[in-house]
Structure 1
Amino acid sequence: MPGRWFPSTLADMTTQNIDASAAGHWLLGGEQKINRLGFGAMRLPGRSWNGPAVDRADALAVLQRAIELGVDHIDTADFYFFEDNHANELIHSALHPYPDNLLIATKVGPKRGSDGELPSEAGPGELREQVERNLRMLGLDRLDLVYLRVGGATGPGGGSLADRFAVLAEMRDEGLIRHLGVSNVVQEQLAEAQRISPVAAVQNHYSVASQTDAALLKTCAEQGIAFVPFFPLGGGFKEVQNERINRVADRHGANWAQVALAWLLNSSPAILAIPGTASVAHLTENVAAGSLRLTATDLAELTA
């Protein structure tokens, strides 16, 4: 079933009067309403993939504040950890029992060793164990959204995902998963997954500095599939901040990260933004970006 975007009225850009609903809404899979601005949990365990560790109290405070600010979509993964900090455990500790409207999305596929490396991908026979581990750590009977993450640590690629996606489709039929997604894919892999089971969301790298997946984004928008960029502020990929984005930020009295998020939200109604942080102050700024409406001049300058 197609998704649908519900625009919001422009909110006051002060942090006192803003919440995540200012970004508008999306119906995931045509049925589950969520705000278009959510939260990514990758940076909760460590300030980068290799640390240093985030103070546990700070991580819990960020999650609790996110809910207070209207965030109803948290993106996580079992392989988001640093040392003894695990994103799923932090989410459970901070928020369980969960608000009725909270959607928790997770990813399976990568196999991450205790040394932090991602040496290989799980085969079809290992995916059920990964899903069940997410269920246990999050304290859930059913996962709202599970992505099959394919390919290496960088760009999309790899071969057929049919055998692995079929395992997740079977678990969806069993009632353990509500919606399915794919991550780090190309057009052909999305189509392959759709021949097996409905796809509610695609999670690929996309930002104002890296727009190579524009065609896939267009496909998702046309088909009512949510497009959820990872590293929306650049992350380990191409740096987002530049002179153009700084000029736009100055015109709006915003910071560069808010403009980068606003650009994503303005560029397609199918985009759901999930910026991550371990700072309550940065979280508040990110949520405020949902009310920033860029002009046609801004968009032309940033997309050039």
Structure 2
Amino acid sequence: MMLNGQNTSLRNDWSLEEIKAIYFKPVLELIVEAATVHKQYQATGEVQVCTLLSVKTGGCSEDCAYCPQAARYHTGVDVHKLMSQDQVLTAAQRAKEGGSTRFCMGAAWREVRDNRDFDKVLDMVKGVNDMGLEVCCTLGMVNEYQAEKLKEAGLYAYNHNLDTSAENYASIITTRTYDDRLNTIDNVRKAGISVCSGGIIGLGETDEDRIGMLHTLSTMEQHPESVPVNALVPVKGTPLENQPLVSVWEMVRMIATARILMPQSMVRLSAGRERMSVTDQALCFLAGANSIFTGEKLLTTPNPDFDADKAMFQLLGLSPRKSFKEEAQPVVG
């Protein structure tokens, strides 16, 4: 398929110049192009509803400049040990009843360690999987063995965001490297787990950094099945507490570009949605977003609740995507 001379077939060889040309298109033209690609590869009236639960909160040894869970920052986030399986399964059941088809569990760890807590997480994964939900985890770095254990337990997806460009990474995080991120994604991929990897805008990065991150994602040997686009929620006590809020047009530009570059991926409208109007979110859906996180909190930051999202779906004529629907849609044309 050709759009304005641009080949939109599935590609992994995008150049920085090509991505820059897409990203800097006039925004309305960009939305139209992304919507056309979205309609070709995705069910446009379908949005996956996901819930993210913090199963172990705070006390993390990392220094991610945006994160209220880093132990070194004073953000008012209380440290909580790993939740019990019963607590997690109760939350998963509530999410399922609220319309979620994917349940993601996040733990404030730098990396997974082979200990009793990891064994408990494996049991949680089994339990949520048995409920018929796509189960996702974000636990920090994992090695090949740990990724295989998660797969055996029934893990459907693993989230490990790049956050920003390789060039900007050290200004945001110093306690691990960009290659550490990429290695974890490789380990997850080798285990046969669906990859969820995107980033955050509003960290003080440049447009070139946003383009660079999209280039890294879209030139992977296999595109991530899920690409979350997060807007920074500035939290008092973190180094980025005074960052200006990201505009809806910046979100739309990122979502639309991601949709064109990675047409088969789920593009997830993630953090920052709480301050978006229904109109803002409708623009994001038009630009190619086809997943949201719902529930009162997204880890530790505010998020729209189930009822508000249900009303939005009714207004916009959207239907929830079913669990375990193939992440990669058949190529059309």
- TM-score bucket of the superposed structures, by smaller chain: 0.5 to 0.7
Contact 1:226–1:270 (CA<8 Å) still a contact in 2? yes
Q: How does 1:109-128 map to 2 (within 5 A)?
A: 109=140, 127-128=141-142
Cα deviation code 1:115-161 (max 9, x no counterpart) = xxxxxxxxxxxx433x7557657972554243334459xxx941684
Distance 1:90 1:170 in 2: 21
Distance 1:80 1:170 in 2: 17
How far off its partner does 1:98 sit?
4.2
Distance 1:167-1:138 versus aligned 2 partners, 3 A rule? closer
Q: What SS class does the counterpart of residue 157 from structure 2 fall into?
A: strand
How far off its partner does 1:188 sit?
0.9
How far off its partner does 1:203 sit?
1.9
Q: Which residue, out of 40, 60, 78, partners 1:51?
A: 78
Distance 2:283 2:109 in 1: 24
Distance 1:261 1:92 in 2: 34
Cα deviation code 1:153-183 (max 9, x no counterpart) = xxx94168456425523542x3342335233
**1:105 equivalenced with 2:132 (yes/no):** no
2:100 corresponding residue in structure 1? 71
Q: How many residues align?
A: 220
How far off its partner does 1:293 sit?
2.5
Distance 2:184 2:57 in 1: 31
The AA in structure 1 aligned to 2:218 is: Q
2:253 corresponding residue in structure 1? 215
Distance 2:282 2:121 in 1: 29
Contact 1:262–1:293 (CA<8 Å) still a contact in 2? no
Q: What SS class does the counterpart of residue 289 from structure 2 fall into?
A: coil
Q: Which residue, out of 215, 220, 226, partners 2:266?
A: 226
How far off its partner does 1:77 sit?
2.8
Structure number with greater CO (CA < 8 Å, separation at least 6) is 2
1:272 corresponding residue in structure 2? 291
Q: Which moves more between the two structures, 135-144 or 283-292?
A: 135-144
How far off its partner does 1:39 sit?
1.4
How far off its partner does 1:272 sit?
1.2
Q: What SS class does the counterpart of residue 160 from structure 2 fall into?
A: strand
Q: Percent identity?
A: 10
Contact 1:184–1:205 (CA<8 Å) still a contact in 2? yes
The AA in structure 2 aligned to 1:67 is: K
The AA in structure 1 aligned to 2:169 is: G
Contact 1:262–1:292 (CA<8 Å) still a contact in 2? no
Distance 1:289 1:261 in 2: 15
1:203 corresponding residue in structure 2? 228
Distance 1:52 1:78 in 2: 11
Alpha-carbon RMSD across the aligned residues, in angstroms, is: 4.7
Q: Which moves more between the two structures, 223-232 or 48-57?
A: 48-57
Contact 1:60–1:90 (CA<8 Å) still a contact in 2? no
Distance 2:142 2:79 in 1: 31
2:169 corresponding residue in structure 1? 158
TM-score (norm. length: structure 2): 0.49
Q: What SS class does the counterpart of residue 293 from structure 1 fall into?
A: helix
Which consecutive unaligned segments of at least 5 residues does structure 1 have? Answer: 9-23, 26-35, 110-126, 235-239, 246-258, 296-304
2:329 corresponding residue in structure 1? none
Q: Which residue, out of 173, 181, 185, partners 1:168?
A: 185
2:52 corresponding residue in structure 1? 40
Distance 1:137-1:276 versus aligned 2 partners, 3 A rule? farther
How far off its partner does 1:64 sit?
0.3
Distance 1:128-1:7 versus aligned 2 partners, 3 A rule? closer
Contact 2:258–2:267 (CA<8 Å) still a contact in 1? yes
Which consecutive unaligned segments of at least 5 residues does structure 2 have? Answer: 1-9, 11-36, 59-67, 70-76, 111-116, 171-176, 202-209, 233-244, 298-303, 318-333
Distance 1:289-1:275 versus aligned 2 partners, 3 A rule? same
Distance 1:264-1:214 versus aligned 2 partners, 3 A rule? closer
How far off its partner does 1:273 sit?
0.6
Distance 2:87 2:103 in 1: 17
Distance 1:163 1:52 in 2: 25
Distance 1:161-1:143 versus aligned 2 partners, 3 A rule? farther
TM-score (norm. length: structure 1): 0.52
2:42 corresponding residue in structure 1? 5
Contact 1:262–1:289 (CA<8 Å) still a contact in 2? no
Distance 2:44 2:222 in 1: 25
Q: What SS class does the counterpart of residue 130 from structure 2 fall into?
A: coil
Distance 1:59 1:171 in 2: 23
Distance 1:260 1:62 in 2: 29
